[in-house]
């Protein structure tokens, strides 16, 4: 029985990082109580969006959710418990800033049922952390991990950013090495993006921050993939690596069609039929007391077959397993599959996409060669566990054929995936 997900947005940060364009505000301390009330009210009002399903994951993200006190988090979890049923093995994640994690706070998180903590570390270089206006130091990361483990929370994830201004390949390798030496089971890594409107964007415009070249970024990403694999981490999604069975269940749900409800300004929801999102306006949200529907703060998009097909490609191809062509055909039909394979052909030819006979564990180096007019691959360059008995997906029934990004394709995945969309 599939389970649903609940996302709760906490739009408060104690300071603004110079690269960030997420919806959050630094002036939230006096508003936290009212905000907690509004979140709880919105949860009760929108409980039926999920059709009464059991929650398999709860994710409290931001912003910086660890700016909430243990009491405020307690009220949120109390409301969750009285509004839905939570599966016994639910993944319950809190995003946290390392310097918020004291021993008492870690114990309170454990007592609330939080069993996974995801920390924004970004780099272990203290000078760079200051440049980015992060408020923690590298030393505080280890302390936070000690406190969380001491409290009994051992499912830990950290985020890193690569391509920082002036960062060398060696410095990045040091960051990855330090991350992998920590007792964490999950690692997310993102290329630095110069988002318009951020302080970092302005620094680049003024010539005070140099963007990493594509070549350096690619080298950094390849180093990351190699080091993570060496440490036993599975590269299961473009930006995510995990030890066995420690994949982020909530985030994986976004890529595999899980139904979820998003609570708070800017939060998105999806129930298989519609997608909804709340207006990113904290003042309006507080004024409405969380009744986003009555205040006209919800936008709804009904998913047409074309949108669903595009979303399927966008989300599934981000994962190492890739797109299950049999499932795609069941949902969108044979004609859609034929058109997709024709569009995929040039990428299969140049080794950025691959057709596999089974869902791969990790992004692979293999390359199929094209032998027939329809663009169907027939053999592979020695990819372990993949495809010696490859058959045309259209000749098979049931499971079996998967369209996946290769390691070579990951870095240009956005362009590849969008070119697979119907005209
Ligand atoms: S803590 Fe996170 S959400 Fe807040 S400003 Fe920094 S990057 Fe953005």
Asked whether the beta carbons of 359 and 405 are under 8 A apart, the reply is: no
- Supply the pTM of this predicted model: 0.91
C-beta of 50 in contact with ligand 1 (< 6 A): no
* Alpha carbons 273 and 301: distance in angstroms, whole number: 9
**Nearest atom within ligand 1 for CA of residue 120:** 2
In which residue ranges of the chain is pLDDT below 50?
367-400
Three-state secondary structure of 310-328: HHHHHHHCCECCCEEHHHH
pLDDT score for 348? 85
| DSSP secondary structure code for residue 295 in this structure | T
Grouping H, G, I as helix, E, B as strand and the rest as coil, residue 301 is: strand
Cα–Cα distance measured from residue 359 to residue 119, given in angstroms and rounded to the nearest whole number: 30
Tokens of 304: 């047409």
| Distance in Å, CA 38 to ligand 1 centroid | 22
Question: DSSP characters for 244-283?
Answer: TT-S-HHHHHHHTT--EEEESTT-EEE-SSEEEEE-S-HH
Local structure of residue 192 (DSSP, 8 states): -
The dihedral sign for the CA sequence 252, 255, 261, 264: positive
| Contact status, residue 11 vs residue 266, Cβ threshold 8 Å | yes
Strand partners, 323: 403
Q: Is the CB of 190 under 6 A from ligand 1?
A: no
- Closest Cα to atom 8 of ligand 1: 20
Give the Å distance between the CA of 25 and the centre of ligand 1. 9
Q: Indicate which residue's Cα is closest to atom 3 of ligand 1.
A: 63
Domain residue limits, the chain: 4-255, 320-419
138 lines ligand 1 (CB under 6 A): no
Q: Is 120 in the pocket of ligand 1 (CB under 6 A)?
A: yes
Tell which CATH architecture fits domain 4-255: Alpha-Beta Horseshoe (3.80)
Cβ of 24 below 6 Å from ligand 1: yes
> Residues with Cβ < 8 Å from 135, sequence gap 6 or more?
14, 15, 97, 99
Place of tokens 């010696």: 388
CA 363 to CA 238: how far, in whole Å? 8
- Whether 17 lines ligand 1, by a CB cut-off of 6 Å, is yes
Helices 103-112 and 138-151: angle between axes, nearest 10 degrees: 50
Closest residue by Cα to residue 284 from 273, 294, 276: 294
DSSP letter assigned to residue 208: S
- Cβ-proximal residues to 141 (8 Å cutoff; 6+ apart), any chain: 98, 119, 121, 124, 158, 182
The CA angle 109-133-97, to the nearest 5 degrees, is 5
For the beta sheet containing 274-278, the strands, ordered from the edge strand earlier in sequence to the opposite edge, are 234-237, 240-242, 186-191, 155-162, 116-122, 86-96, 55-62, 4-10, 260-263, 268-270, 274-278, 298-302
Question: Is 61 near ligand 1, meaning CB less than 6 Å away?
Answer: no
Report the separation in Å between the CA atom of 407 and the middle of ligand 1, taken as the mean of its atom positions: 29
Report how far residue 65's alpha carbon sits from residue 7's, in angstroms, rounded to the nearest whole number.
12
CA distance 57 to 59: 7
Q: Is the CB of 121 under 6 A from ligand 1?
A: no
């Amino acid at each position: 029985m599939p389970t649903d997900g609940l996302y709760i947005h906490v739009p408060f940060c104690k300071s603004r990082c110079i690269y960030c364009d997420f919806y959050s505000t630094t002036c939230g301390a006096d508003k936290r109580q009212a905000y907690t009330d509004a979140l709880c009210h919105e949860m009760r009002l929108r409980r039926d969006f999920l059709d009464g399903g059991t929650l398999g994951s709860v994710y409290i993200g931001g912003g910086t959710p660890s700016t909430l006190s243990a009491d405020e988090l307690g009220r949120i979890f109390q409301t969750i418990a009285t509004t839905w049923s939570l599966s016994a093995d639910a993944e319950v994640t809190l995003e946290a800033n390392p310097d918020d994690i004291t021993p008492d706070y870690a114990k309170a998180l454990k007592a609330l049922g939080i069993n996974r903590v995801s920390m924004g570390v970004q780099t272990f270089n203290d000078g760079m952390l200051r440049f980015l206006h992060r408020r923690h130091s590298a030393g505080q990361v280890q302390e936070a991990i000690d406190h969380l483990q001491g409290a009994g929370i051992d499912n830990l994830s950290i985020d890193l950013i690569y391509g920082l201004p002036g960062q060398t390949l060696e410095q990045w390798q040091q960051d990855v090495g330090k991350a992998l030496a920590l007792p964490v089971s999950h690692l997310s890594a993102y290329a630095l993006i110069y988002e318009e409107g951020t302080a970092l964007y302005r620094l680049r415009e003024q010539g005070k921050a140099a963007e990493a070249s594509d070549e350096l970024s690619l080298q950094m990403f390849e180093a990351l993939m190699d080091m993570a694999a060496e440490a036993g981490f599975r590269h299961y999604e473009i930006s995510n690596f995990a030890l066995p069975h420690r994949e982020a269940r909530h985030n994986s749900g976004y890529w595999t069609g899980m139904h979820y409800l998003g609570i708070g300004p800017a939060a998105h929801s999806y129930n298989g039929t519609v997608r909804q999102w709340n207006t990113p306006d904290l003042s309006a949200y507080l004024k409405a007391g969380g009744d986003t529907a009555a205040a006209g703060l919800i936008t709804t998009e009904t998913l047409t077959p074309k949108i669903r097909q595009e979303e399927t490609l966008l989300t599934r191809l981000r994962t190492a397993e890739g797109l299950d062509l049999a499932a795609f055909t069941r949902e969108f039909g044979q004609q859609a599959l034929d058109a997709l394979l024709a569009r995929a052909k040039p990428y299969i030819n140049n080794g950025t996409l691959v057709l596999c006979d089974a869902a791969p564990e990790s992004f692979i180096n293999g390359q199929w060669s094209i032998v027939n007019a329809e663009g169907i691959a027939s053999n592979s360059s020695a990819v372990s566990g993949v495809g010696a008995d490859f058959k045309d997906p259209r000749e098979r029934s049931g499971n079996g054929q998967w369209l996946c990004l290769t390691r070579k394709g990951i870095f240009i995945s956005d362009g590849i995936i969008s070119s697979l969309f119907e005209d």
